[in-house]
Amino acid sequence: MTTPDHRRSPYEVSLDESTPPLRVRVYPATTRGAELTDGLLWMHGGAFVGGDLNMPEGDAVCRALAANGICCLAVDYRLAPKFGAWRAQRRPDAVRYPAPVDDCERAWRYLDDNCARLRIDPRRRYIGGASAGATLAATLTLRLLRTSEPARAAGAVLAYPLLHSELPAAAAPLRADLSRSRRLGQFSPAAVRWIARNYVGRGRTDRLSHAFPGGSDLSGFPRTLIHNSQYDSLRASGERFAEELRAHNRPVDIGFEPGTRHGHLNRPDRPAFAATIRTITDWIAAGSQSISQPVKSPH
C-alpha cells in the first residue's frame, strides 16, 4: 500500500529565525507512492539585481521539475541595487555579496533539516540555478565543500551560468556562433565587469575571487551539469569552468541548447524550455541512480 503525498501544490515557508526573514517556495514532487525523491535547491537569475520567485526561470522551471519527480525549493534571495540607482548604490545597508549566498545557505539548511518531511533522500540533494542564480549555486556548493560539513550537495546544476568576474575569451566554436547572432545582443566584457562589481560593491574588488567560483581550487567539487544557451557570450564562462573542473579531475557534463539565447528558461512556451528540463531531469536521475546503487561486496 502506498502513502499519498501530504501536499502536491507549491507552498511557501518563511525562515524568520534570524533577520531578515527569507521566503522559500516548496514544490513537492508529484510522483505517487511513499518512495523518497530527489531534492533541488533552485535560484532564479537577474544579474543579482532583478528577478523573483514568480518569474518563469524560477516558478515554471520548478513546476516542470516537480512534475518530473524532483522536489524543488526556490529561494527569494536578497537583491543588490539596480544599475543606475545611485542613491541606493550609496546606502551603507545596500545588499552586496555575500548576503545573497547567505540566504541560499539558509534555504539549504532548511532543506537539510526537513528532508524527511519533504520526502527527499538526503543522499540525493542538488543545488542549481540559472544565470546569476547559477553563480549563487556554484558559490554555495563551494562554500559547503570548504566547511567540510556532511550537508554537501550531490551535484550542481548550472544553466547558462556566469562563473567569472571577468568574461573569459570565447573559444572558436562560440566565436562563430556569436558572429551569426549579433542582432540578438550579448553581454560584453564591460557589462560583465559592471555586473560583478555592482554585486560585490564599489571598492570591494577583493571580494570578487570569493563571489565568483571561476579560477578557484575546485578539488572535491561534486558532479556538475553546465547547460548553456548557444548564442550567449556567457557560454564562454561555462565552458572555461568546465575546463577548470576537468583540470581538478572533477566530473562535469556540458552542452548547450541549440538555437537559444541567454535566458531561454524564461520562455516555457518554447520547445527549448522542455528540452532543457529533460536534460536536467535525466542528468539528476542518472546521478541519483548511481547514488542509490547498493555497494557490491568484494567477495
- Give pLDDT tens digits for 196-208: 999 999 888 999 9
Q: What are phi and psi of 285, to 5 degrees?
A: -60, -40
**Residue-wise pLDDT tens digits, 149-188:** 667 899 999 999 999 999 999 999 999 999 887 655 689 9
Under a CB-based contact definition with an 8 Å cutoff, are residues 256 and 229 in contact? Answer: yes
> Whats the size of the chain, residue-wise?
299
Per the listing, cell 568574461 goes with 167
Our measurement of the distance from residue 55's CA atom to the centroid of its chain's CA atoms, rounded to an integer in Å, reads: 15
Which 3 state secondary structure label does DSSP give 199? helix
CA nearest 64: which of 45, 42, 46?
42
Q: What homologous superfamily is domain 11-81+95-288 in, according to CATH?
A: Alpha/Beta hydrolase fold, catalytic domain (3.40.50.1820)
Question: What is the SS3 assignment for 277?
Answer: helix
Q: Per residue in 55-96, pLDDT tens?
A: 999 999 999 999 999 999 999 999 999 977 655 566 767 899
- Can you give the pLDDT at residue 186? 80
Q: The pTM is what?
A: 0.93
Chain centroid, CA 211 distance in Å: 14
Beta bridge partners of 178: none
Q: What are the sequence ranges of the domains in the chain?
A: 11-81+95-288
Determine the Cα angle at 241 with ends 240 and 247, to 5°.
Answer: 90
Over residues 217-271, the pLDDT tens digits come to 999 999 999 999 999 999 999 999 999 999 999 999 999 999 999 999 999 999 9
What are the φ/ψ torsions at residue 260 (nearest 5 degrees)? -110, 160
